[in-house]
């Protein structure tokens, strides 16, 4: 325990010695400060005394509490913590493992009575300290903003700390693996960002393909029900058109199914970065009674993508239901398996190498 504490204290000193750590923290507080400067009134959204009229956002449609929670979820978590803060965290921490295995540095630690695997995994955990501290500060500041400006003291916001830290751990495990393999901070950063982009692309592609598959199914069901409707039978021309559409829709189904099978198969073995952050929506929505992004987007403009004959809201609910059919344990479990394999490989390399 003494060694673990020493390594964590050392990691904190290392982080606090880096300007980027304080910069990221300052930006975090600035983002929350901006949230606090935003307000909502009868006519629209206010910012430092100016009011921007909005038919969608006003106290007539949205309560201040809901407004601030939406800001936290949609901007704070999805964009700041999920993208920008994560990038800063990767830039800051990508050197932790390469610095650990650097000649002259590793000798000092391996000569101590600590097993190599424990040393490596503890160092890995210190990398997560950065993300955890950033999210904690951001969540705490948001907690007070929502409490003071929105009038709701929402403890469920702190669920962001473990979820975003876990999300970051998925990326940092790859960073650690590349770091121990190449001993280069730059290579760790670039290759991790590349891997993140690939994973993100596969996740989005799977999501699009899945939406297409569901749209295809709903479209076919809708046409079939229209054709089978005896109370309100369609005329012959319409029947012919519907039959043609049904044939086309059914002909496309194997393609959608096959594409989804492959994308979903690949996704299953990869970390669920996007789904992990979406867990926060699930938890916060259940815990904090906040409107979901999907429900919110239902009030937004019509999307071009989707089945022609099915109502948009119905389609979105079906997509959301399908997404949420994957349990939290599937999202976390498969991601953990990936992280475990990557970290395991990194640990084996670290343990077996001569320095």
Partner 1 sequence: MVSSPNAINNSAIDLANDLAIDLTDVHKTYGRKIRALQGVTLQVRAGEIFGLLGPNGAGKSTLVKIMMTIVRPDTAKGTVLNRGVGDPVALARIGYLPEHHRFPTYLTGRQVVEFSGAMSKVDRPTRKKRASELLDRVGMGDWKDRPLSSYSKGMRQRVGLAAALVNDPQLVVLDEPTDGVDPVGRREIRDLLIGIRDEGRTVLLNSHLLSEIENVCSRVAILVQGRLVAQGTIDELTSSSRRYEIVVEGSAPAWCAESASVRMIPAGQMLSAGIPGESCRLVFLGLDALGAQPILDRLRSEQRTVIAAQTVRESLEDLFMRAVTDPTTGLIYRPGAAT
Measuring CA to CA, how many Å separate 330 from each of 202, 267, 268, 325, 337?
Answer: 17, 12, 9, 10, 10
Q: What SS3 state is found at 47?
A: strand
Least distance between partner 1 and beta carbon 29 (Å): 23
CA torsion 336-341-346-351 (nearest 10°) is 110
Specify the residue, 6 or 56, whose C-beta has the smaller distance to partner 1.
Answer: 6
The whole-angstrom separation of Cα 267 and Cα 269 is: 5
Least distance between partner 1 and beta carbon 317 (Å): 53
Specify the residue, 109 or 125, whose C-beta has the smaller distance to partner 1.
Answer: 109
Specify the residue, 55 or 103, whose C-beta has the smaller distance to partner 1.
Answer: 103
Measuring CA to CA, how many Å separate 242 from each of 19, 212, 219, 247, 311?
Answer: 64, 19, 11, 9, 17
Least distance between partner 1 and beta carbon 107 (Å): 4
Specify the residue, 13 or 251, whose C-beta has the smaller distance to partner 1.
Answer: 13
Specify the residue, 2 or 228, whose C-beta has the smaller distance to partner 1.
Answer: 2
Specify the residue, 16 or 63, whose C-beta has the smaller distance to partner 1.
Answer: 16
Q: Are the beta carbons of 175 and 188 closer than 8 angstroms?
A: yes
Least distance between partner 1 and beta carbon 12 (Å): 11
Cα separation of the two ends of the chain: 25
Least distance between partner 1 and beta carbon 172 (Å): 20
Record the tokens describing residue 172, joined without a space: 């940092």
Least distance between partner 1 and beta carbon 105 (Å): 5
- Tell me the angle at which helices 328-352 and 273-288 cross, rounded to the nearest 10 degrees: 130
The number of CA neighbours under 13 Å toward the Cβ of 348 is 6
Specify the residue, 7 or 81, whose C-beta has the smaller distance to partner 1.
Answer: 7
Q: Are the beta carbons of 28 and 92 closer than 8 angstroms?
A: no
Least distance between partner 1 and beta carbon 113 (Å): 4
CA dihedral sign, ordered 110, 113, 117, 119:
negative
Least distance between partner 1 and beta carbon 296 (Å): 45
DSSP conformation letters of 165-202: HHHHHHHHHHHHHHHHHH--HHHHHHHHHHHHHHHHHH
Least distance between partner 1 and beta carbon 67 (Å): 42
The whole-angstrom separation of Cα 89 and Cα 70 is: 24
Burial of 20: CB neighbours in 10 Å, binned 0-12, 13-18, 19+: middle
Q: Which residues lie near partner 1 (CB under 8 A)?
A: 1-3, 5-7, 9-10, 13-14, 17, 102-115, 352, 354-355
Specify the residue, 186 or 351, whose C-beta has the smaller distance to partner 1.
Answer: 351
Least distance between partner 1 and beta carbon 133 (Å): 17
Specify the residue, 109 or 156, whose C-beta has the smaller distance to partner 1.
Answer: 109
Specify the residue, 236 or 354, whose C-beta has the smaller distance to partner 1.
Answer: 354
Record the tokens describing residue 289, joined without a space: 């009674």
Residue 235 CB: number of other CB atoms within 10 A? Answer: 8
């Amino acid at each position: 325990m003494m060694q673990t504490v020493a390594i964590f204290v050392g990691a904190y000193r290392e982080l606090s010695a880096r300007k980027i750590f304080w910069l990221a923290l300052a930006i975090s507080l600035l983002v929350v400060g901006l949230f606090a400067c935003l307000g909502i009134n009868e006519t629209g959204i206010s910012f430092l005394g100016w009011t921007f009229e909005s038919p969608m956002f006003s106290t007539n449609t949205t309560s201040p509490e809901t407004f601030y929670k939406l800001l936290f979820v949609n901007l704070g978590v999805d964009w700041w913590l999920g993208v920008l803060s994560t990038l800063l965290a990767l830039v800051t921490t990508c050197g932790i493992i390469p610095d650990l295995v650097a000649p002259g540095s590793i000798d000092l630690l391996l000569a101590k009575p600590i097993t190599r695997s424990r040393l490596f995994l503890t160092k890995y955990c210190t990398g997560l300290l950065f993300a955890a501290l950033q999210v904690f500060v951001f969540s705490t500041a948001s907690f007070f903003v929502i409490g003071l400006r929105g009038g709701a003291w929402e403890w469920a916001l702190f669920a962001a700390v473990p979820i975003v830290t876990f999300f970051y751990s998925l990326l940092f495990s790859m960073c650690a693996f590349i770091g121990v393999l190449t001993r280069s901070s730059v290579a760790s950063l670039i290759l991790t960002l590349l891997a993140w982009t690939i994973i993100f692309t596969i996740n989005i592609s799977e999501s699009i393909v899945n939406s297409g598959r569901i749209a295809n199914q709903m479209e076919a069901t809708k046409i079939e029900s229209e054709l089978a409707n005896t109370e309100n039978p369609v005329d012959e021309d319409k029947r012919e058109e519907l039959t043609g559409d049904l044939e086309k829709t059914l002909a496309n189904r194997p393609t959608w199914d096959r594409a989804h099978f492959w994308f979903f198969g690949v996704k299953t073995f990869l970390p669920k970065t996007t789904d992990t952050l979406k867990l926060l929506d699930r938890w916060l929505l259940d815990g904090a009674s906040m409107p979901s992004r999907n429900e919110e987007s239902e009030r937004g403009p019509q999307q071009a993508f989707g089945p022609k004959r099915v109502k948009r809201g119905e389609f979105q609910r079906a997509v959301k239901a399908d997404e949420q059919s994957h349990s939290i344990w599937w999202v976390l479990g498969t991601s953990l398996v990936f992280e475990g394999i990557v970290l395991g490989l990194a640990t084996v390399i670290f343990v077996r190498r001569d320095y």
